[in-house]
Chain A
């Protein structure tokens, strides 16, 4: 069965500092991987996705993620966080584009001034 683990429930970073959110997955075939961001009481916004090709993918809002097959990881990074980046971040995996996504538990990011 597929699963997604986000080891960090909460992360607090200072504004301007770098951010890395971890995501590990378990999947039997080639995974389709996604990172979403959710602001309080809101739906999900896609930050980036990986299907194939270059393992370093660029997303919106200055985010990037690197797929490492050997480590079954898809960590999300941002070089310099802004106060508006405070939100909940979800990593997800699916068997094909957009179908029946399995989500990680989420990581809540707090940004200190």
Chain B
């Protein structure tokens, strides 16, 4: 099956710094990628839809200036958490759809962000 890779899998950063998370589709091209956030023992909440070559679409309540998304190529989307605070600590997961019209989105393994 299709593979989506996220990097890093874990990151610890100091409060006030920025962290970049990468989401790559390894064996397919993705015009659309999705970023989800998962708090401990909770479900996944969609943060934004990342579109190759255009601006991301953010869900209501998600600060676009805090969570910067760039989808510069058909295989890479990045999420940058700017000026991170402890409340941004969470599990971030991306998913990607095959541009050839595949019927499902494939999920990365997630990134555990801890802000200290």
Contact = CB atoms under 8 A, between A and B. Distances in A.
Contacts of B91: 41
Contact of A42 (B4, B32, B110): B110
B70 interface: no
Interface stretch (A62-70, A72-80, A103-111): A103-111
Given A43-B93, A44-B93, A105-B42, A97 B110 contact: no
B108 A43 contact: yes
Interface in B48-95: 49, 91, 93, 95
Interface string A89-104: 0100000011111111
Interface residues of B: mostly helix, strand, loop or mixed?
Answer: strand
A36 interface: yes
B107 A36 contact: yes
A105 B103 contact: no
A46 interface: yes
Nearest to A6: B43
B103 A43 contact: no
Contacts, number: 61
A106 B43 contact: yes
Contacts of B107: 36, 43-46
Interface residues of B, number: 25
A51 interface: yes
Contacts of A99: 32, 34, 49, 97, 105
Contact of B97 (A34, A98, A103): A98
A51 B103 contact: yes
Contacts of A34: 104
Contact of A46 (B42, B43, B97, B104): B104
Interface of B: 4, 6, 32, 34, 41-46, 49, 91, 93, 95, 97, 102-110, 112
Interface of A: 34, 36, 41-46, 49, 51, 90, 97-106, 108
30 contacts: A41-B91, A41-B110, A43-B93, A43-B110, A45-B107, A46-B104, A46-B106, A49-B103, A90-B43, A97-B102, A97-B105, A98-B95, A98-B97, A98-B102, A98-B103, A98-B104, A99-B32, A99-B34, A99-B97, A99-B105, A100-B34, A100-B46, A100-B49, A101-B44, A101-B46, A102-B46, A103-B43, A103-B44, A104-B43, A105-B43
